[in-house]
Amino acid sequence: AAAPKPLPAYVDWKNAKALIVHSNNTMETKRSAYGTSVITPSDQLYVRNNLPPPNPSILDDRDAWTVAIEGVKNPRTLTVGELKGMGLETTAMVLQCSGNGRGYFPSKPSGTLWTVGAAGCVVWSGVPVRAVVEALGGVAAGNPYMTGTGGEVLPEGLDPKSIMVERSVPTAAMEDALLAWELNGEPIPLAHGGPLRLIVPGFTGVNSVKYIKRLAFTPKESDAKIMASSYRLTPPGEKAGPDKPSIQDMSVKSWINSPLPEDGTLKAGKALIEGIAFGGITAVKSVEVSIDGGKNWKPARFIGPDLGKYAWRQFVAEVELPAGTHTLASRATDVKGLIQPEARVENVRGYNNTSWSDHAITVTVA
């Protein structure tokens, strides 16, 4: 087998043993590394950059970083130092790439073939966007979108719209959104968007724009490629474009982290099935497990603290495993009663895979 790729320099502080390095800009957490203590340590958290990260010197004076707030009654450019005096909130949430689970699409869509690891449950601290907006007189009329622009310096000679990271979400999402400077108790590392990141809880990762330079309330969605045609739920054979649904809020999902096939042959008898479950834009209510590929289900029990509706819950279920080969699956339900589906929704780029069947695992017991 080929030697694992080494960690790129900007993430040399990460735990290499817990990560699968796909490329310089894409690394996922190993399924076996999630543990059972709810929070994903920053050094095990996945990384996904559409562009190479900015020069680390942007962290030299974090409080001096500026963000332009537009589309409010009194637009202003604010420093991180000023934002720190405007309000404070801490939110635990699932950060998950839109393409997490893409590796289970038989069509092998273009893009990173993540399995479960482009996701983590992390804690952000920052100022609520609604507090900033209120201080600047409120959203100016006629702006149904909140548009965040990343601070990467774009390579010359290319159409900026074709590469810039700029995403629009409904203005209503500002209610729970943060302009964050802290991740899991530390200043946000460069890889995760420091010095300042827009956090949109309940939405897929791409909507939480790193190195945010501009937060604008706008009459239209951004026409940058990453908004207009990328991250769209495009049915097979059709062409991506603004008419297709944008990948935004997440829905109910779960998966098992233990036991795993790489644990080798298990001993027949009592076994504990462990995993994680989350609701996405709503809270998760319950989760069930199956040891026969989804024919029969039994309830699992949540363990650990409940960190709010945007966080994931970890679960455990005690089962009896007879000798043989078993397909273990988990299936979550959210507070609205939506059940994690058996099948993925087929789409060209392999987004939003919540299929319990795709995430099932097969173990051998003797």
Report the residue number, 146 or 328, with the smaller CB distance to ligand MSS: 146
Least CB distance to ligand MSS at residue 285 (A):
25
| Rounded CA separation 209/217 (Å) | 15
Least CB distance to ligand MSS at residue 105 (A):
15
* Nearest residue to the partner ligand MSS, using Cβ: 150
Report the residue number, 57 or 325, with the smaller CB distance to ligand MSS: 57
Structure-token pair, residue 320: 């009896």
Least CB distance to ligand MSS at residue 82 (A):
21
Least CB distance to ligand MSS at residue 1 (A):
26
Report the residue number, 114 or 315, with the smaller CB distance to ligand MSS: 114
Least CB distance to ligand MSS at residue 45 (A):
6
Report the residue number, 18 or 361, with the smaller CB distance to ligand MSS: 18
Report the residue number, 149 or 286, with the smaller CB distance to ligand MSS: 149
Report the residue number, 193 or 294, with the smaller CB distance to ligand MSS: 193
| Rounded CA separation 54/319 (Å) | 48
Report the residue number, 102 or 331, with the smaller CB distance to ligand MSS: 102
Least CB distance to ligand MSS at residue 243 (A):
20
Read off φ and ψ for residue 363, nearest 5 degrees. Answer: -125, 155
- Is the CB of residue 97 less than 8 Å from the CB of residue 115? no
Report the residue number, 26 or 290, with the smaller CB distance to ligand MSS: 26
CA R_g for the chain: 21
Least CB distance to ligand MSS at residue 231 (A):
7
Least CB distance to ligand MSS at residue 47 (A):
4
Sheet holding 298-299, edge to edge: 298-299, 284-290, 324-334, 361-365
Least CB distance to ligand MSS at residue 50 (A):
3
Binding site for ligand MSS (CB under 6 A): 45-51, 95, 97-99, 150, 152, 165, 191-193, 204-206, 208-211
